[in-house]
Structure 1
């Protein structure tokens, strides 16, 4: 009898130990909806964010975006910049390793950058690294690849020489194109280096499985320099481009994150899920461009009047269901190095007051009621929402000025080809999504020297001079001030009329911890955890 009691006590003790240990033994798995199947996991050929989300979990660049969307050290622990702003010297982390345990070296980064610029690679985003000395010439085949301005000084020291000072270069290094590859792995495995079981990566996770159109699984990389702070054991990405299906899987608790759901579902989802619905302003601007080469759009009064008469609140709420936000600046909010953008001077007026002022300006310019007739053609790329915006804007201009407005649409490729090749127009719809989180990426569109993206052929010597000054200024605060002056001038002249700032739509389960909305839409899994 005594032995039976002892056995029962021992069994109970073992059971309690096992029960107590089970939470610690349970895998921490994050289930991420990813809005589509990645076409590539090769840094040199990636171009879309559904690939970026995966690649930045697998690899780590010299710099990264933290949970708040701020640039911080990644594989590079520190860096120094030469007095003339053209030479960066990066010190890689001593404990930075690849997932196979080998050290991450400066030569790995030099090799990776050369690979991107090598014309044989045909990298889609090679231009991201064009600020590096000779990068554009290398990419065009004008000089040999070994002339690229990158050099491994020693195993952990990388020297990068630029063509000219580039204050936003650290932002460019956080782009997925600048992620490193293992030189040894690529040379050994060729194109197969991207496959599960073959891929060698230096990020917080390593690729373990990929079933196309079903799931992609990454597991914690125990050789990662910061592995002790990575709280997830596994992340499973689900490539669901059907937005309704993505929402259903989130509602069924099969996914913790769902990206880019349909905007018309915002209110319903907010009613059911409250703060789990995230509408986060991103670095993207929806705008109309005026062709300043012809009358009456060469008259600043006409451009300002047309811009002021557009009710941006209506466009944001009625057409985009709150998934885009009213905008009065070319630069979207959320760029840390820039701060609050410089808005048009009519931004704080009521819509009625704006319309009254717009009518005054149009009359002053000699158009509208009692003046010359106003015939406007709006061009846009084929899309139901763009058509709805154009129709609404046409009604606003008709009701405010008595304008006769017609609409013309082309498929997206033809629309932008027409604009970029210098085709004449009255008013044209356009949009810009940041390639990097710096105000320059938006303001440079209106430089007179920008023959590709300055659709309205705006020319203003003062604006050009301010932008030139910003390129030469190395002090961040002083540079920001100069660019604000440039944007203030741009918003006064209104060669482009910003209407909306795009928002990223996420469903984030309450079990996900560490999530922060941010303008670069950067959400590395290494900063997240899950609570059961």
Structure 2
């Protein structure tokens, strides 16, 4: 009897230990749909938000966006600013470490920022750090790397000197371009520093695996300074650019988050999933860009005519089910410091009057009915919404001008890679999401020296001069006036034709806690949790 009781007690004890071990070992996993394969995980080379979602889970900048989309301390626990607004002194967290256990130092940030501005790196977003003293000169080969205005005062103190006071500088530091790299890792591993098993990161997660076009897995970084408050153990990103497939996987409970679903599904999804459907207005512009290097798109009359013939109300209501709003300005509304954007002069006309004016301009330019035939190729990145927009715009141009319009699509990485590398085109779809809440972020895309994002290759000396003047103007009201003048030129010339002010469309499973819609569209996995 005693032996039986002892065995039973032992079995019960063993069972309870196994249950305890099982619950302790149970991983919490977040499955994130990410609507495309990243071109790169090198923060100096990233350029699109689906890359930013990943690298911001892996790395932490001096500042970050919190769950509500507000700027808060990141790797820097605090900072001070000089009276003239040009010198920031950042105090790094004493317990900030890399995933290999080594300390994050001020020298890592000096190395990282120099790397971004080094012309040899050819960083796509080098201009993000141009407010730092000598950054632009270094990037253009006009100054030495060591002249960059960043200095390691000591291991945990970083001093950053700016060219001029920059009100939005703390927001720039939360951009993926300003994320640090481990100096030791990059010097040791070179280009391989981004690979699984090699990457050393300082964020809430570290890279575990990457199977291109299938999945990318990050796991909790035990050396992260706030690891105790990081609730999700593993995040799997799925690069699905097929929106229908993404929705199906969400509905099958295979994914907890689905980004950028097809807007024509909005009503159906709302009926089925209610509050799990999120439509979040954002500082983003959906636009078409014209290649101004060749006829007929080097003629502002042709560009204006094509832009005027596009019925933006139709695009917003019929294609996007009212989830986006018609736009006639490059800068989206809602930019608090900027006020009302400078809209195209035809914004107040009815669509019929716009089309009449468009036909006159096109005839004046010698194209369309009675003139040279108009053949247009529209390029867009693979996506049902973009395809529907392209098809609708093609029909509008055929109806208004008798144009012969064809469509070409590529996956998101290839599409933007082609544009950024200067590939020739007629008309191309693009979108811009604010990197920081300032009108300059949208207008600077069309400065002639912006080799990466000035897809149209627009070159207008008056526009360039106004943008240059805006950087030197310290009075906010006077600066806004200059930026409005620049946008007025841009909207008159129409190298870019804004169509819509965007909203971010997300499906968020009710398993996910801590989600907050925000205009910055920032959703770090470390601020989320998953309930079973």
Is the 2:286–2:431 Cα contact (8 Å) retained in structure 1? yes
Is the 1:288–1:499 Cα contact (8 Å) retained in structure 2? no
Report the CA distance between 1:415 and its aligned residue: 10
1:264-323 deviation per Cα after TM superposition (whole angstroms, max 9, x unaligned): 4333323322232233344223157798x999x879xx9999867753221223344556
List alignment gaps of at least 5 residues for structure 2.
381-386, 410-414
Matched, 1:207 2:204: no
* 2:53 match: 53
* 1:261 match: 261
* 1:242 match: 242
Report the CA distance between 1:255 and its aligned residue: 1.0
What TM-score do the two structures reach when normalised by structure 2?
Answer: 0.76
1:230-255 deviation per Cα after TM superposition (whole angstroms, max 9, x unaligned): 22222222233333332222111111
**Larger CA Rg, structure 1 vs 2:** 1
Change in Cα spacing, 1:356 to 1:25, as seen in structure 2 (3 Å) is same
* 1:233 match: 233
Report the CA distance between 1:60 and its aligned residue: 0.3
In structure 1, distance between residues paired with 2:126 and 2:344: 35
In structure 2, distance between residues paired with 1:294 and 1:220: 53
* 2:435 match: 436
Report the CA distance between 1:57 and its aligned residue: 0.6
Change in Cα spacing, 1:334 to 1:94, as seen in structure 2 (3 Å) is farther
Report the CA distance between 1:61 and its aligned residue: 0.7
Cα-Cα RMSD: 4.9
1:49-105 deviation per Cα after TM superposition (whole angstroms, max 9, x unaligned): 332211101110112222233333221233334444443322222332222333211
Report the CA distance between 1:475 and its aligned residue: 6.0
Is the 1:420–1:453 Cα contact (8 Å) retained in structure 2? no
What SS class does the counterpart of residue 285 from structure 1 fall into?
A: strand
* 2:517 match: 517
Is the 2:512–2:528 Cα contact (8 Å) retained in structure 1? yes
What SS class does the counterpart of residue 44 from structure 2 fall into?
A: helix
Q: What is the total number of aligned residue pairs between the two structures? A: 514
Q: What is the 5 A alignment of 1:15-414?
A: 26-282=26-282, 283-287=284-288, 310-322=310-322, 324-333=324-333, 335=335, 337-338=337-338, 341=341, 355=352, 379=376, 381-383=378-380, 384-385=387-388, 387-394=390-397, 398=400, 407=405
In structure 2, distance between residues paired with 1:341 and 1:360: 23
* 1:504 match: 504
In structure 2, distance between residues paired with 1:321 and 1:525: 29
Change in Cα spacing, 1:342 to 1:17, as seen in structure 2 (3 Å) is farther
List alignment gaps of at least 5 residues for structure 1.
none
Change in Cα spacing, 1:416 to 1:183, as seen in structure 2 (3 Å) is closer
What SS class does the counterpart of residue 88 from structure 1 fall into?
A: strand
Change in Cα spacing, 1:490 to 1:259, as seen in structure 2 (3 Å) is same
In structure 2, distance between residues paired with 1:185 and 1:483: 42
What SS class does the counterpart of residue 206 from structure 2 fall into?
A: strand
In structure 2, distance between residues paired with 1:492 and 1:195: 46
Report the CA distance between 1:512 and its aligned residue: 1.2
1:370-400 deviation per Cα after TM superposition (whole angstroms, max 9, x unaligned): xx9999958553344454243343377x4xx
